[in-house]
């Protein structure tokens, strides 16, 4: 059976999905998504100044702000996959799986190809310039880039060219979206049963225990042998983690009681997340080059990592459900803007940071300048992109500006 014939059954799938109930409009998740993508700019500016591996590094890089980075690093991408699963659920409840798959592919794969060809190369070029003292021109590097050059080795790891760098989220999202479309097309009754089951069991303390148990189990057992690589075909820990969040969002999308309970328990989730964060920064401050953690302590740290991540997501969604569950003209505008922001932001940060080096600014001032300039240039670019028809699909926007000016339920990841 071909993929097309499988997904042609989607009319039954749509009926089954819609039978569960339309639910309320989850405006707060649009705001959460906007917040999460804005957070990427702050996080990636921070990556320039910490000791963790990143494409280029400031001369002032240190561990000073690493505790702040731990506030979001355990959960920021997981949150995006959760929200993407919610958006996918509502889209598949309104259109056939074949239409969903084709529109999703165009919306994701075209920007990915364009991004890898045009947006990402400056990142890789400046990386080899700084880390390997590469002396060739940018055009020389592009010739290597598009001919799959494998001669650059950084810290023992071969740089694969072409690369998708920060755009790795897009191929992962596309694969998960197509898989769920096929699943809906072949087993709509099973999807409805899973939604009913998760609606029955994801209540009370089970909202906390079941996900943390699963997430801790995979982190303890998979992380050492399969560390995150952003390699779509060999990234088993990331898939076990992110596919869980994507499917959780998909199955919980219409469970209004779940979102209401998150709002009720938001302070509990916040306190638990903060406690987990305090443990993590204490752990990584103590267990460094001078102290080696035991196996038991390592496993406990991984369990706390997932505990902190899940509770942080619950807290953010709970507070958003309580305070942000309303529409505003800015929501429509910013919902469209986040995809172009996402595509552009990391290259802008790296190029800006590289050119600001000659000013020798204090790290705190330089970081603030990077954040302000990145946001300003992203907004400027978005204003240009949304007005030029041929640029719009390259950045994940609808061809027709009039269509995207309407309420954009289909524009969410």
What is the per-residue pLDDT for 95?
Answer: 85
Q: What DSSP assignment string belongs to 250-279?
A: HHHTT-HHHHHHHHHTHHHHHHHHHHHHHH
Distance in angstroms between the alpha carbons of the first and the last residue of the chain: 29
What is the per-residue pLDDT for 177?
Answer: 96
- Select from 48, 114, 102 the least CA-distant residue to 394: 114
What residues have CB less than 8 Å from 120, skipping those under 6 apart? 162, 163, 164, 165, 166, 167, 347
What is the per-residue pLDDT for 405?
Answer: 45
Convert the pLDDT of each residue in 200-237 to its tens digit: 888 899 999 999 999 999 999 999 999 999 999 999 99
Average model confidence (pLDDT) across the chain? 90
Convert the pLDDT of each residue in 309-343 to its tens digit: 999 999 999 999 999 999 998 999 999 999 999 99
Helix%, strand%, coil% for the chain, nearest 5: 70, 0, 30
- Select from 59, 57, 38 the least CA-distant residue to 47: 57
More confident residue, 367 or 202: 367
Query: Which alpha helices (H) appear in 324-410, and where do they start and end?
Result: 329-356, 363-385, 401-404
Element (H, E) at 157: strand 157-158
The SS3 of residue 403 is helix
Q: What are phi and psi of 158, to 5 degrees?
A: -75, 130
pLDDT over 70, % of the chain: 91
Is a pLDDT exceeding 70 seen at residue 407? no
pLDDT over 90, % of the chain: 80
Convert the pLDDT of each residue in 89-137 to its tens digit: 999 888 888 889 999 999 999 999 999 999 999 999 999 999 999 999 9
Is a pLDDT exceeding 50 seen at residue 2? no
Is a pLDDT exceeding 60 seen at residue 12? no
Q: What average pLDDT does range 246-269 have in this prediction?
A: 95
Convert the pLDDT of each residue in 147-168 to its tens digit: 999 999 998 889 999 999 999 9
- Asked whether 350 and 123 are in contact (CB, 8 A), the reply is yes
Q: How many residues does the chain have?
A: 413
What is the per-residue pLDDT for 116?
Answer: 98
Query: Where does the pLDDT of residue 74 fall: very low under 50, low under 70, confident under 90, or very high at 90 and above?
Result: very high
The SS3 of residue 158 is strand
């Amino acid at each position: 059976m071909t993929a097309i014939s499988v997904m042609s059954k989607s009319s039954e799938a749509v009926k089954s999905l819609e039978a569960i109930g339309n639910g309320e409009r989850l405006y707060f998740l649009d705001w959460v998504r906007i917040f999460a993508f804005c957070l990427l700019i702050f996080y990636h500016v921070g990556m320039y100044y910490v000791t963790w591996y990143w494409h280029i590094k400031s001369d002032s890089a240190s561990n000073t702000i690493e505790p702040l980075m731990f506030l979001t690093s355990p959960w920021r991408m997981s949150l995006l996959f959760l929200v993407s699963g919610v958006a996918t659920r509502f889209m598949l409840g309104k259109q056939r799986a074949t239409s969903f798959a084709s529109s999703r592919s165009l919306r994701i794969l075209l920007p990915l190809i364009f991004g890898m060809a045009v947006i990402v190369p400056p990142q890789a070029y400046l990386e080899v310039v700084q880390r390997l003292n590469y002396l060739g021109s940018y055009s020389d590097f592009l010739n290597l880039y598009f001919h799959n050059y494998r001669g650059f080795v950084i810290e023992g790891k071969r740089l694969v060219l072409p690369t998708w760098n920060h755009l790795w989220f897009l191929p992962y999202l596309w694969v998960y979206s197509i898989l769920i479309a096929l699943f809906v097309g072949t087993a709509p009754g099973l999807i409805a049963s899973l939604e009913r089951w998760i609606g029955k069991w994801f209540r009370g303390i089970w909202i906390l225990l079941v996900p943390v148990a699963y997430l801790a189990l995979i982190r303890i057992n998979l992380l050492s042998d399969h560390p995150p690589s952003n390699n779509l075909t060999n990234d088993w820990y990331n898939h076990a983690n992110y596919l869980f969040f994507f499917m959780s969002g998909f199955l919980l999308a219409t469970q209004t009681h779940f979102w209401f309970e998150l709002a009720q328990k938001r302070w509990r989730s916040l306190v638990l997340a903060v406690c987990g964060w305090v443990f993590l920064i204490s752990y990584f401050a103590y267990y460094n080059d001078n102290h080696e953690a035991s196996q038991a302590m390592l496993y406990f740290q991984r369990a706390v990592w997932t505990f902190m991540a899940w509770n942080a997501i619950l807290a953010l969604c709970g507070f958003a459900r309580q305070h942000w569950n309303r529409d505003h003209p800015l929501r429509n505008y910013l919902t469209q803007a986040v995809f172009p922001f996402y595509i552009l932001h990391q290259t802008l940060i790296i190029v800006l940071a590289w050119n600001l080096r000659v000013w020798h600014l204090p790290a705190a001032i330089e970081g603030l300048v990077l954040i302000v300039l990145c946001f300003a240039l992203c907004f400027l670019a978005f204003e240009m992109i949304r007005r030029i028809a041929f640029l719009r699909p390259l950045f994940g926007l609808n061809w027709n500006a009039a269509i995207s000016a309407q309420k954009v339920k289909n524009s969410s990841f």
